[in-house]
Amino acid sequence: MRSLLSKSSGQFLIFTSVVMMCCFPLFFYVMKNFYAKDLDELIKFRSEHFVETNNSTLKISDIDYWNRFNEDMKILPYENSYPLNKVVQKSLFSNVENHEIDYRIYYRKISIEGKPYVFMSQIAMIESKDLFRTLGVQYLLFFVIIVIGLLGIQFVLSRCLWKPFYNSLNEIEDFNLEKGEIPEFEKTTTTEFARLNGNLTKLMEENVASYKQQKEFTENASHELQTPLAVFQSQLDLLLQDNSLNESQMNVIESLYDVSSRLTRLNKNLLLLSRIDNSQFKETITIDFSQLLERQLTYFKELASNNGITLSANIQNALEITANKVLLESLINNLISNAIRHNYSGGFIHIEVNGNTFQIGNSGSKTPLDKEKVFRRFSRTSEERKGNGLGLSIINQICKLHGWEVRYNYKDEIHCFYVNFYLE
């Protein structure tokens, strides 16, 4: 993953490099052409200059003398084979360089004392190789300066341009649906970003609204269910007083009681969950967790032994935590009753408080629970309907609310839950 800026700069660098590379041969040939033209003008000028200044005073007897001292301007006897009045390029042996090099040569017909001669003016060219190197170095230098300059400009411009985008990004990263606070975006003059921000705000507002509605719905629904449940239960309580009931009718009533208490339990848990979601448990006090646990344990020990389960506890230290008391009790009750419920006669439960952690392990089914799903609502891992599928999500919500960590682990046929109370 790379940032937008580095990506665009990288691409810019690649494309400009390719374009500049492609341009170099063109640049080279154009330069070379201009250079040759320059030389041509020079040799033409030299020969014209000769004709204008020296030609009239030169005598035939001076030709040898002239030729001896002029390497690049020679007077040759007239021959038809010379290409007259145009510049040609020839490779000649150079005594200086000790190898052949290219020359630009211009032949012009002159007459000395009435006799025709040919005036040859030549000039050595820079070797192609050398020209290439020189131009290449210059070009590269030029290229580097341009690219650095452009990159810098692009970087600064992009940063300015994308700033509102990064601001929005930071704002939405901090957005938390549960807190329900919609971030305020900075005003931007870019149409697209203004649109983006507008749409983001709208999305978040809708999300928060529907989340709130959903939370309220659960709570309201649970509330509304309480009255019919109360009617249902009171009817059963009255029915039970009827003296004429026979055994089979009593059995029906008993199963209705079971249904009624299951419904009540489910409803209470739903209500508790939605109340946690609606943050109705704000008051916190400092509680000694170990003491509270010890108190709850008296009841659970009795309950466990009624179910043929051995409950042992090793509370090593006092553990002062800041929490909502109702929720903390609910956490303990849910964890221990889960351990009893998903156990078997002859099984065991071991509870440990050590440092900042509370740990409860129990015997139970021989298959581990799904770590991913275990804290989700109504995600039963077995078809057994022992609980109502909300206990662990209540535990999870309580821990989340207080900033504690809860984990599930299965090892050596022991189902284990850990709660880590982070203490500052």
Q: Where are the beta strands (DSSP E) in 210-344?
A: 285-288, 310-315, 320-323
Nearest-CA neighbor of 404 among 422, 418, 416? 422
Q: Using CB under 8 A, which of the segments 49-57, 83-91, 143-151, 239-247 binds other proteins?
A: 239-247
CA 244 to chain centre: 74
Q: Is position 234 an interface residue for other proteins (rule: CB under 8 A)? A: yes
- Out of 271, 287, 313, 416, the only residue in the binding site for other proteins (CB under 8 A) is 271
Q: Does 306 bind other proteins (CB under 8 A)?
A: yes
Q: Shortest approach of other proteins to residue 268 CB, angstroms?
A: 6
**CA-CA-CA-CA torsion sign (26, 29, 35, 38):** negative
What is the smallest separation between the CB atom of 311 and other proteins, expressed in angstroms? 13
Q: Which is nearer to other proteins, 93 or 378 (CB)?
A: 378
Q: Judged by CB under 8 A, which of 190, 218, 307, 420 binds other proteins?
A: 307
Query: Which listed range, 82-90, 160-168, 330-338, 355-363, lies at the site for other proteins (CB under 8 A)?
Result: 330-338
Contact window for other proteins (CB under 8 A) among 12-20, 59-67, 143-151, 248-256: 248-256
- Based on CB atoms, which residue is closest to other proteins, 190 or 296? 296
Q: Measured from the CB of residue 420, what is the shortest distance to other proteins in angstroms?
A: 23
Round to the nearest angstrom and report the end-to-end CA distance of the chain: 36
H helices present in 2-127, as ranges: 4-53, 63-69
Enter the tokens of residue 29: 């040939």
Core vs surface per residue 260-271: b (16+ CB within 10 A) or e: beebbebbebbb
Which own/partner contact pairs does 86-93 have at CB distance under 8 Å and 24+ positions apart? 87/40, 87/43, 87/44, 89/36, 89/125, 92/122
User: By CB neighbour count within 10 A (0-12 exposed, 13-18 middle, 19+ buried), where does 273 fall?
Assistant: buried
Position among 20, 194, 326, 414 found at the interface with other proteins (CB under 8 A):
326
Q: Would you tell me which residues interact with other proteins (CB under 8 A)?
A: 223, 226-227, 229-238, 240-241, 245, 247, 250-251, 253-254, 257, 260-261, 264-265, 268-269, 271, 275, 280-281, 299, 302-303, 306-307, 326, 329, 333-334, 337, 340-341, 386
